[in-house]
Amino acid sequence: MLNRIKKINLGNWIFIGMFLGVIVGLFLNLFVDNHFIIDIVLMDNVFYLGGNIFIRLMKMLVVPLVFCSLVVSVSSLSDIREIFTIGGRSIILYLITALIGILIAFAISMVFKPGVGVNFTAITQTSNVTLNQTMTDLVLDIIPENPLNALASTEMLPVIIVGVIMGFILFKLSNETPTLNNFFKELNEIMIVMTGIILKIAPFGVFCLMARTFGTLGLGGMSHLIGYMNCVVFALLIQLFVVYPIILVIFTKVNPLRFYKKFVSVMFFAFSTLSSNATIPLNMHKLEDMGVSNVISSFTVPLGATINKNGTIIMQSVATMFAAQYCGMDLGTSAILTVVFTLILASSSTPSVPFSGLATLTLVFTSVGIPLEMIGLLVGIDHILDTFRTAVNITGDAICTIVVAFKNKSFDMDVFNNKKKPDKSIPDMK
C-alpha cells in the first residue's frame, strides 16, 4: 500500500488535493454551522495560511527563476537574432488566439443574451477597482527606470526586458566574462532545484485554496447571475478544448489528447491558485518534460503570463455584452471594434490584484459608455470565474510555446510521444 502511494506522481497528487479541497469546502459550507470552527479556525487561519504560504513560495521563485533562465538562455544562443524570431512568433500567436477568443465570446453572448430579462431591483454594489493608464504609460512601464526595482516589484515585462538585455551583453562578452556566465548558470541550477522542492507541497497548498474557496462561497452565491456565468464558462471551454487543439494540430501535428493528459496537472494547479505568475515554474517544468527546449519556454512562458490573457479577455467580452444587454444598449459596429481594441490593450496591463479582470474592465466600459456600476454586479462571482480563466490563460501560454518551439526546431517530438526520456534539469517528483 505504501509503495503504491509513493508511486503517485505530482500531477495526480495535485488533482487529489484539489478534489478533496472541493469536497471538504462544500461539506463545511453546507453541513457545519459552528461559526468559530469554520470561519475563525479553518477559513481565516488554517486554509488561508496554508494556501497563501504556498502561493508566496511560488511567487518567490518566479522572478529569480525567470530572470536567470532568460539570461542563461539568451547568452547561450548561437545567433542572437533567434530571440527576435521567438518573440515575434509568440506575440503573433497570442494576438491570434485573443482575437479568436473575443469572437467566440461575442457570438455566444449574442446567441444566448445573458443580460436580457435579468431583473435586479437596484445596483447596490459598486467596484472601487479602477485603472487609469494611457498607451504611453503602458509602453513606458515596460522599460524600468531601476532594474533592481523591476526585479523587486515582480512586474514580468520589465523583468523580461532586463533579462534579455543582460543575456545579450553576456552573449557579446562571453570570452571576457566567463565567471559571470558561470554564476548565472549555477544560480539557474539552484533555482531549478528549489522549484522541485517547493512543488512537493503543491497538493497541500491546492487543498487549502480550494477548501477555502468553496467553504466560503458555497454554490448559492452565484445563482442570480447563472446565465452570465454559463456563457463565460462555455466560451472558455470552447477556447480550451476546441481552439487550442486545432492550433496544435495545424501548426505542429501534436496529438492534443496526449498534450492535455500531460498538462492537466498544471491546469488544476492554475485553477486552484488563480495566478498565472505562480504557475510559471510548474508550466516551464512541464513543457521541458514534454520536449520543449528551455531556451524557448524561459522566454515565452513569462511573456505569455504577462500579455497572453485569453481567459480574461473572454470573460471581459461576455461581461461587456451582458452589461450592454442589461442596460438596453445596442452596440454597433464601431462600438464593438472599440471594445475589441480596448480589450487587447487592457489585457496586457491587467494588474496583479484581486478582481484584476474587473480592474481593466473599467477601461472597456468607459470606452463605450456602459455605467461602471455594472461592474459591482459581477464582483461577487468573479472569484469563481477567475479559476476557469486562469486555467485557460496558462494553457494558451503552453500551446503557443509548443508551436514556437516546433517552428524553431526546439521541440523533441520523440520526448513528447514518450519514445525517449527528456533531458530534465528538475528531478522527477514522485
Q: Which of 58-72, 174-188, 339-353, 405-419 has the lowest mean pLDDT?
A: 339-353
Confidence at residue 53, expressed as pLDDT on a 0 to 100 scale = 87
Asked whether residue 338 is assigned to any structural domain, the reply reads yes
Q: What is the dihedral of CA 193, 197, 199, 201, to 10 degrees?
A: 180
Q: Which helix (H) or strand (E) holds 348?
A: none
Q: What are the tens digits of pLDDT across the range 391-407?
A: 999 999 999 999 999 99
Asked whether residue 226 is assigned to any structural domain, the reply reads yes
Range of the domain at 78: 2-416
CA atoms within a 13 Å half-sphere pointing along the CA-CB vector of 101: 32
C-alpha 291/C-alpha 293 separation (Å) is 6
Domain containing residue 401: CATH number? 1.10.3860.10
Can you give the pTM of this predicted structure?
0.72
C-alpha 183/C-alpha 177 separation (Å) is 10
Asked whether residue 80 is assigned to any structural domain, the reply reads yes
Please give the tally of structural domains in the chain: 1
Of 57, 130, 41, give the one whose Cα is nearest residue 355. Answer: 130
Q: What is the dihedral of CA 80, 396, 272, 187, to 10 degrees?
A: -10
DSSP string for residues in 61-129: HHHHHHHHHHHHHHHT-S-TTHHHHHHHHHHHHHHHHHHHHHHHHHHHHHHH-TTTT---S--------
Asked whether residue 157 is assigned to any structural domain, the reply reads yes
Asked whether residue 392 is assigned to any structural domain, the reply reads yes
Confidence at residue 354, expressed as pLDDT on a 0 to 100 scale = 44
With 0-12 CB in 10 A as exposed, 13-18 as middle and 19+ as buried, what is 269? buried
* Contact between 144 and 397 (Cβ < 8 Å): no
For the chain, the helix, strand and coil percentages under 3-state DSSP, each to the nearest 5? 75, 0, 20
Asked whether residue 302 is assigned to any structural domain, the reply reads yes
Which residues touch 333 (CB under 8 Å, ≥6 apart)? Answer: none
C-alpha 395/C-alpha 266 separation (Å) is 8
Asked whether residue 427 is assigned to any structural domain, the reply reads no
Instruction: Tell me the average pLDDT of the chain.
Output: 80
Asked whether residue 422 is assigned to any structural domain, the reply reads no
Q: What are the tens digits of pLDDT across the range 152-189?
A: 776 666 877 888 888 889 888 888 888 888 898 888 88
* Contact between 212 and 47 (Cβ < 8 Å): yes
- The model's confidence at residue 412, banded by pLDDT at 50, 70 and 90, is very high
Mean pLDDT of 358-368: 73
Residue 253, number of CB atoms within 10 A of its CB: 9
Mean pLDDT of 72-92: 79
* Angle 109-115-117 from CA coordinates, rounded to 5°: 130
